């Protein structure tokens, strides 16, 4: 699946997007954040406060317990500050 990062999450991860293949045991947004955080210090730093991170699956906001199966694109970002 494709993963995109925005704002300071992108800066901390060090890339805007990538394609990942998490193990089948990773079923929710929350579990994906935990799995990514275990992959490197950059992810651990980006996701150090998981409660602050917002997620979207295929362009729609989702909660941390949302299932990721079937997702084409998952995005992680801080709370929005536009307008």
Partner 1 sequence: MTSPVTTCPVTIRIQEDDFDVAREIALLTKSRTDIGAVVTFSGICRGDEDSAKIAALTLEHYPGMAEEEIKRHVDEAISRWPLNGVTVIHRVGRFVPGQNIVLVLTASQHRQAAFQAAEFLMDYLKTSAPFWKKEESESGTGWVEAQARDDEAAARWTKS
- Shorter beta-carbon distance to partner 1: residue 32 or 74: 74
- Shorter beta-carbon distance to partner 1: residue 38 or 80: 80
| CA proximity to 15, closest of 76, 81, 80 | 76
Residue 49 as a binder of partner 1 (CB under 8 A): the answer is: no
Residue 70 as a binder of partner 1 (CB under 8 A): the answer is: no
**Total chain residues near partner 1 (CB under 8 A):** 16
Residue 12 as a binder of partner 1 (CB under 8 A): the answer is: no
d(CA 83, CA 78): 15
| Token reading at 75 | 């995005």
Taking the CB of residue 67, how many other CB atoms lie within 10 A of it? 12
Taking the CB of residue 22, how many other CB atoms lie within 10 A of it? 15
6, 13, 47, 51: which one binds partner 1 (CB under 8 A): 6
Residues in touch with partner 1 (CB under 8 A): 4, 6-8, 56, 59-61, 75, 77-83
């Amino acid at each position: 699946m494709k993963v995109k990062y925005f704002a300071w999450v992108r800066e901390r991860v060090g890339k805007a997007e990538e394609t990942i293949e998490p193990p089948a045991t990773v079923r929710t947004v929350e579990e994906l954040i935990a799995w990514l955080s275990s992959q490197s210090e950059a992810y651990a730093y980006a996701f150090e406060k998981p409660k602050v991170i917002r997620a979207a699956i295929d362009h729609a906001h989702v909660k941390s317990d949302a299932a990721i199966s079937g997702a084409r694109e998952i995005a992680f970002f801080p709370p929005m500050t536009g307008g």
